[in-house]
Each structure stands twice: as structure tokens, then as C-alpha cells.
Amino acid sequence: MYVNSGYLFNSRVPFKENKRALRILSAGTYQLFDWPKLPTWRPKGRADWQIIYISAGEGHFMLDGQEVVVPAGNMVLYQPRQEQHYWFLGEDKAQYWFVHFTGRQVKSILKHYEIPLDGHILRTGLSYEYEELFRRMRDELLECAFCYEESLTYLFRELLIAMNRRMHAEIPKVVGFVQDEVDRAKDYFREHYNEVVSIEQYAASRNMSTSWFSKSFTAAVGMPPMKYIMEQRIRNAQVLLETTDSTVAEIAGIVGYDNPLYFSRVFRKAKGLSPAKYRRVYRESLVRSVE
């Protein structure tokens, strides 16, 4: 079994916060490999709130007197003093993340982010973004750097936003780990859009064939990977044309095009105007708006 968790003030004792709006008490992860069973039973619950995110395998929860098997891609919400009876099995290769939190405004915060309070199971889907946010909360609790409690509340709110978006999104065209890989690729392309990006090399780095990755990406996003990268380049070129006096050639280089003429052709095809004319029309519109 693998466990890696962080606790506020290094204390495992839960408490109810009555002064602060929100306070994060603990966060971390458990992974079962050769451990046969990891049970938890708190007949009277805890003083705080808890969210459990199942990222692999499945969990077994006693909810309203019945055993419910909750697969990966779901979260379970426990409110204060609710009975907690659940277990994970090593044979399922289960992994889960958790966060405990408290505060006088927790209920209104959850309602603000449209997190349902009338049940336990939250169908949030799988996302590596969730794991990253749980990991960062855990690390804040372990390192206790400057303003770490403030950072914890921001990270928790970011988690709630991610949950809301996933729960209210349209039914995805791809599911499970495929959507996760697509999201990871989109993040990578947004960060490296102005570099020479090889779809073949990227796919290989993720242990995927180029054709499978391209097909999955297109199905999920509605366009091939290279077109997605091109759109990031054009979008950032627009910003530079609108906000700087850099030449078209300079902007071409900044957004990833070595050939300014090719950049101009791509930009014109995408926006219907050459880069120079786009800048001129944009600035003329600004003048008219203040007259």
C-alpha cells in the first residue's frame, strides 16, 4: 500500500471551524497494491466535511443502508456527522484522493459552485486535473510555506470549479482515460504552441500511436491536433497585433512561424484579413469608439 498525506498543524484530530469561512484540514492519497483491504468506519462521522475522489479501481460504500460500488471517475461527499462506512480492495488496484475541510460558510460555498448536497455520489468524471489539485493541497500542508492556508483555499475552490465544469459539461465524445489524455495534450499544446511540435513525437511520449491519438483528439475537440495548435498561434498573434507595435515578421517569430509570408497566408485564411490590415482595422475601430 502507498499513502502520502498532509495535515494542518500535523494533527489528525478533526475539528469544526466557526470563525473562518473555509479551512482545509488534510489532503492526500491512498493506493492499494498488495494490501488486501483498507476499511474505514466512523459510525458518528467526523466534525468536518470530506470529499473522496476515486481515480482508479473502485470503492465500496455503505450509503443509506446499502452497499454501493463506486467506480473510478466519481467522488463521494460526506457532510459533518454523517456515518462513514467504506472500504477499498487491493484486488481492484484502487487509488483514491481525499480532502477534509471545515468552516462557517462551507455549505454556501458548495452551493455557489453547484455541488449537490442532497446525496453522496458526485459524478465528476476522471481528470488528471483533480489529482494535481489534490496533490498541490497535500504539498501545501506538508511544506507550510508563506500564506499556505490562503493557497489551500484557492486550490480547493479551483477543485470545486473543475468539478462543476465536468458535472455540467455535455456528454463527452470520448470517455475515461482518453478524455484525460486529450485534456493533457491540450494543456501541453497551449503551453508549447510557439515551438516546433511533432504530433508523432508527442504521441510516442504518451505511449500512443499517432493515428489513434489524432483520431481521439479530433473526436473530442472537433479538430485535428495541428489545427488546434494553429488556432493558439493565431489567437496570440491577434493579441500582439492589437497590443504591441511589433512588426508582422517579429510577431510571426514569437508565435512560432519562421516564415513571415507563410504566417500572413495562414492568418489571412483564418481571419479573412492580412495581419497588417487586421491591426489597422482594429485600431481604427478603437478611435471610432472614443469619438
Q: Measure the CA–CA gap between 209 and 213, rounded to whole angstroms.
A: 6
Segment 40-63 shows an average pLDDT of 94
Structural contact between residues 110 and 117, judged by C-beta atoms closer than 8 angstroms? yes
Domains of the chain in sequence order: 2-168 (2.60.120.280), 174-291 (1.10.10.60)
Segment 191-215 shows an average pLDDT of 92
Amino acid type, 58? E
What is the pLDDT at residue 15? 87
Cα-flanking dihedrals φ and ψ of residue 7, to 5°? -130, 140
What is the pLDDT at residue 102? 97
Provide the percentage of residues in the chain whose pLDDT is more than 90: 66
Strand partners, 256: none
* Cα–Cα nearest to 264, from 281, 247, 287: 247
Q: What angle do CA 221, 190, 256 make, to 5 degrees?
A: 115
Q: What is the mean pLDDT of the chain?
A: 91
Segment 86-94 shows an average pLDDT of 91
Is the pLDDT at 175 greater than 60? The verdict is: no
pLDDT band for position 176 (50/70/90)? low
pLDDT band for position 134 (50/70/90)? very high
- CA 13 to chain CA centroid, nearest Å: 29
Of 98-102, 226-230, 279-283, least confident by mean pLDDT is 279-283
pLDDT band for position 29 (50/70/90)? very high
Q: Measure the CA–CA gap between 238 and 242, rounded to whole angstroms.
A: 6
Higher-scoring residue by pLDDT: 83, 289: 83
Amino acid type, 152? L
